[in-house]
Amino acid sequence: MRFASATTIALIVCLALGGCSEKVPDAKTGTLSATRKKYRIAVIPKGTSHEFWKSVHAGAENAAKEMGNVEILWKGSLLENDRDGQVSVVQDFVTRKVDGICLAPLDSQALVPYVKEAKQEGIPTVIFDSGLDDETDIVSYVATDNFKGGALAGERLADVLGKKGGVILLRYNPGSDSTAQREEGFLEILKKYPDITVLSSNEYSGTTPETSLDKSQQLFIKFREQVNGVFAVCEPNSTGMLKALEQEGLAGKVKFIGFDPNPHLIQSMREGKLHGIVLQDPVKMGHDAVMTLVRHLEKQPVEKRISTGEHIATPENMDEPGMHKLLNPQQFGE
């Protein structure tokens, strides 16, 4: 009778226990550790059409490549006003028994019960970009400090206005916590400047450049002779506001601060039509959301709130290396 080698015996035992471990990077330290668990992580953005989400997607995939044992399941609605569509996506991933969910909720209230449902099914959720009113059932919240981002916009607009003039705030969409925080941070800063008058702060643009263009034009019809500065709180309504300023012959004359870049907004800032763009780090946000969830799945401690930073680009600093990178973040597929 021949005796099996030690290697053969080890292999038999390994297979009997359900498969051999492989060496993969530890989520916290980056060092190699033994684990055979393959994680399927659902990443659900608010929408899929805007530049910002393509960069979040890139960051999530970067994290998966870094870990080596993570598969990203990316799915979201086309537009950022499809609450029912996002709820359906969450429920579908719960049914599919993914290992975890990274979610950018469209509505700070409407998604709360579905995050709770996921937790009850043993599926943890990391929230990113935009918060929930009730954080009881989440692992962590990974995002820009949006209130601070709005405050940066307020300070920049006050500066370029010489701390006086009439100002319009173009809000985004009801229920969006991230943009609501930006709006409130902006308004809070302007309280410091008694010679700045807020002409309008209660109008919502909707979720597309087209609806933002329409709303901006309505505001200029009403306040054209009084407005000296405007703030638009995200990429689609910044794009719509810019087009309205151009069509009304006000581009460059009315001081304009946007939020989140795209190529047209960046070029327009170079041409003097924008006076600042508040920047997030969407690549880092996608990366850190996934890494935070994997750490949790591997029983490592995670912070309840993780900030990914906020900055403001101006015509004066836009070509500095760090700012240039944030203005032109990596996108999925690049």
Q: How is the chain split into domains, by residue range?
A: 37-143+282-308, 146-279
Q: How confident is the model at residue 33 (pLDDT cuts 50, 70, 90)?
A: low
Contact 264, 279 (CB under 8 A): no
Read off the pLDDT band of 17 (50, 70, 90).
Answer: very low
Residue 182 has pLDDT above 50, yes or no: yes
Q: How confident is the model at residue 14 (pLDDT cuts 50, 70, 90)?
A: very low
Q: How is residue 163 written in tokens?
A: 């701390």
Is 37-143+282-308 in CATH node 3.40.50.2300? yes
Largest CA distance in the chain: 100
Flag the least confident range among 9-23, 61-75, 121-135: 9-23
SS3 187: helix
Distance CA 226, CA 193 (A): 17
Q: Strand 32-35 relative to strand 140-143: parallel, antiparallel, unpaired?
A: unpaired
pTM, 2 dp = 0.84
Superfamily of domain 146-279: Response regulator (3.40.50.2300)
Q: Is the pLDDT of residue 7 over 80?
A: no
Matching residue, tokens 């996921």 = 118
Query: Residue 293: helix, strand or coil by DSSP?
Result: helix
Q: Give 103-120 pLDDT, tens digit per residue.
A: 999 999 999 999 999 999
Question: Residue 79: its pLDDT value, please?
Answer: 85
The answer to whether 37-143+282-308 and 146-279 have equal CATH topology is: yes
Cα angle 240, 84, 124; round to 5: 105
Q: Classify the phi-psi angles of 249: left when phi > 0, otherwise alpha if psi is within -120 to 50, otherwise beta.
A: left
Per the document, the length of the chain is: 334
Please measure the distance between the N-terminal and C-terminal CA atoms of the chain and give it in whole angstroms: 59
Strand-pairing partners, residue 204, are: 171
| CA angle at 129 for the pair 30 and 300, rounded to the nearest 5° | 30
